[in-house]
Amino acid sequence: MMLRFTIRFILFFLLLGSTVLEAQIRFDAKVSKKRLGLNERLRVDFEMNENGDNFDPPPFTDFQVVSGPQQAVSRSWVNGVQSFSKTYTYFLTPKRKGSVTIGQAEVTIKGEVYKTTPLEIEVTNAVEKPNDPNNVEGLIDGNIHLVAEVSNTNPYLNEGITVIYKLYFRNPISVSDVSELEAPSYGDFWSHLIKIGRAEINMRGSYKGEPYNEVIWRKVVLYPQKTGQLKLEPLTLNLSLSVPSNRRDLFGRRILTQSQKTLTTGQRTIRVKELPQRNKPESFTGAVGQFDFDVILDKDALKASESFQAKVKVKGKGNLKLFNLPNINFPNTLEVYEPEHDEQVKINISGMEGTIEDNYTIVPQFQGKYPIPSVEFSYFDPLSSTYKTLNSQDLIVDVFDGPTASVSRNNAQTLNRNQLLTASEDAFRFINLDTKLTLINQRGFWMSRLFWILLLLPILLLFSVYMIKRFVMSKSEDTQSLKQRKAKQLAKKYLSSAKNEVLNQARFYEALERALHNYLKAKLKIETTEMNKSKIEILLLNKQVEQQIASDFIELIENCEKARYAPGSSVNIQGDFEKATALIVKIDRQL
């Protein structure tokens, strides 16, 4: 009896222990931080305390996977108690700012499906010094930099400054692709972007006294339009890098690893000074720089009723497009037309340079000598921090062979008097004084022809609208299948070049990526090759394309880039081709 009781007691505790162990199975998601900048990396660990199968990660829609999954397994015995840990690790970079969500991951443990809890991550603006813990590619940090070089951080109002964005990198890093993730808008500046063509690598660059490879990414000329502390927004780039790993091939050469890196210049502050009020001329209209000024006449002697031109010309270097030229005070007896403004200004790395002109056309009516008084032009020279004033010469125009001012004045008075008499005679000719009145509404409206027309007309209109709607709906149903066939033909048209290269992985994905860009170029009338993937996705969403379809389109472009720049990666040529065909059909239908 005692033995039976002991056996039952042991079986009870064994059953209770197994139940407790079953209840202690855990599958959790952990992140390195809940708040990070747009240019920082996030580490995500999916950890379980029992060995599981069929691990399924979340889609990471709002992130770009830099590396992963990296699998780690740990077993230990402490005081006779076994502990087990299995972890899947991912390194991610965010694609956009705002609140983003890491969805649920799934795993099967002992026949049961376990899911993690979704995690909310807040992505802020790019930071100057990204904190990137547990970075598996620490070799990148310290060997690549993005810098905004400002020519003058303390300019005067309307004084030109230059900002050059440079990318510095050195061995063993090589850059394979660069795209803009965030571009500055220069809201408080007049800005001009200087075209630099194709970016070229300068192998003899220098950063903080050390040799680097240098790439000039952007040049912009700015003229501040406000005083005080103006914020220069950061430029953020997304780079595809090749970094040597610790592994080597059969010939002893290091195997390159593809990696993604987001860099930012950080926010810069420009302290703009006000122009001095002391000794400020009344003729100053906002010109800042170094200028020459003159007033030029194309003729100084002519007949009456002929025309001549007076040119107000400013030449030099400064904010030529941002101020008005002074006016000429012509004599009242000259007929002067509105001036024609002409600009011949070149904008280079040092700012605006050239000439601006106001061309007046003047027609004298009477003979005589007409003086053109001196014109005053003032500007502020930031090099000497002083105002300077220039004056044109006094000019005289000699008009001969024409009527004198007194005779013409008498003729004009006689002409005006005759015109007034004629106008008074014709003023009331249009008024008809012989009025005839006729009786209206001689017949009643009730039960008249107009009564029945107005009564039946709305009924007929409603019936007509109903029939037209029925006809249009039946017509649209017939044309639905025709639209589907046209969409498939459109997909075959753009993907024909890729289909011919299915046996060559590099050429196939190059042709497939070009076909996707050409399709968007044809449908949306834009050049998508100059845009990054984030802007393409935003553009598709603005065109009312579904979120999932836009995300699949961007994912397909990323597959093409991965296959082109990482030839050793696994690809599915047939699957990607069929996916591209289906996406073009869906996007074409929604557009």
4 pLDDT higher than 50? yes
Which of 422-453 are b and which e, b meaning 16 or more Cβ less than 10 Å from the residue's Cβ?
eeeeeeeeeeeeeeeeeeeeeeeeeeeeeeee
- The predicted pLDDT at position 521 comes to 74
pLDDT higher than threshold 50 for residue 135 = no
Bigger pLDDT: 143 or 493? 143
pLDDT band with cut points at 50, 70 and 90 for residue 416: very low
State mean pLDDT over 498-512. 77
Residue 81: strand, helix, or coil: strand
pLDDT at res. 156: 94
State the DSSP string of 245-272: EEEE-TTSPEEEEEEEEEEE---EEEEE
**What's the confidence (pLDDT) of residue 568?**
59
* Structure confidence at residue 9 (pLDDT): 57
Cα separation values, 98 from 62, 120, 122, Å = 10, 10, 6
20 against 324, higher pLDDT: 324
User: Going by DSSP bridges, is the β-strand pair 236-248/376-381 parallel, antiparallel, or unpaired?
Assistant: unpaired
Specify the range with the lowest mean pLDDT, choosing from 103-112, 117-126, 257-266, 376-385: 257-266
Phi, psi angles (nearest 5°) of residue 494: -80, -25
Enumerate domains of the chain plus CATH numbers. 22-124 (2.60.40.740), 144-272 (2.60.40), 290-400 (2.60.40.740), 475-590 (no CATH)
pLDDT of residue 480: 55
pLDDT value of residue 430: 45
Q: What H or E segment, with its residue span, contains residue 556?
A: helix 547-565
Q: Are 270 and 277 in contact (CB under 8 A)?
A: no
At residue 203 the predicted structure's pLDDT band, cuts being 50, 70 and 90, is: confident
Greater confidence (220 vs 558) lies with 220
Whether residue 22 is predicted with pLDDT greater than 50 in this model: the reply is no
Residue pair 401/305 in contact (Cβ under 8 Å)? The answer is no
Average pLDDT, the chain: 80
Q: What is the mean pLDDT of residues 413-430?
A: 42
- The answer on pLDDT for 432 being more than 90 is no
Per residue in 168-177, pLDDT (tens digit) is 988 778 888 8
One-character DSSP codes across 280-342 = --TTEEEEEEEEEEEEEES-SEEETT--EEEEEEEEEEE-GGGSPPPPP---TTEEEPPPEEE
Percent above pLDDT 70 for the chain: 79
**Helix crossing, 547-565 with 505-524: angle to 10°?**
140
**Average pLDDT over every residue of 98-123:** 89
The arithmetic mean of pLDDT across residues 400-424, rounded, is 51
Question: How far apart are alpha carbons 39 and 103 in whole angstroms?
Answer: 21
The residues facing 388 across adjacent strands are: 379
> Is residue 410 very low, low, confident or very high in pLDDT (cuts 50, 70, 90)?
very low
Q: Is the pLDDT of residue 71 over 80?
A: no
CA distance 98 to 357: 49
* Tens-digit pLDDT profile for residues 311-358: 999 999 999 999 999 999 988 888 899 999 999 999 998 899 999 999
What's the rounded mean pLDDT across residues 233-258? 76
pLDDT, tens digit (0-9, with 9 covering 90-100), for 27-70: 888 887 888 888 888 888 898 888 888 888 998 888 888 877 87
| pLDDT tier, 263 (very low <50, low <70, confident <90, very high otherwise) | confident
Confidence of residue 150 (pLDDT cuts 50, 70, 90): very high
Q: How confident is the model at residue 556 (pLDDT cuts 50, 70, 90)?
A: confident
Model pTM above 0.75: no
* Cβ–Cβ < 8 Å for 213, 202: yes
Span 220-240, pLDDT tens digits: 999 999 999 999 989 999 888
Q: Which residue has the higher pLDDT, 272 or 420?
A: 272
pLDDT at 501 over 80: no
In this predicted structure, what is the pLDDT of residue 573?
80
| pLDDT over 50 at 182, yes or no | yes
Tokens 């006449």 found at: 297
* Confidence band, pLDDT 50/70/90 cuts, at residue 130: low
Contact 64, 260 (CB under 8 A): yes
Whether residue 534 contacts residue 96, with contact meaning beta carbons closer than 8 Å, is answered with: yes
Task: Return contacts of 111-118, CB within 8 angstroms, 24+ apart.
Answer: 112/25, 114/25, 114/27, 114/48, 114/52, 115/27, 116/27, 116/28, 116/29, 116/46, 117/28, 117/29
Q: Is the peptide bond preceding residue 281 cis, with omega within 30 degrees of 0?
A: no
pLDDT at 420 over 60: no
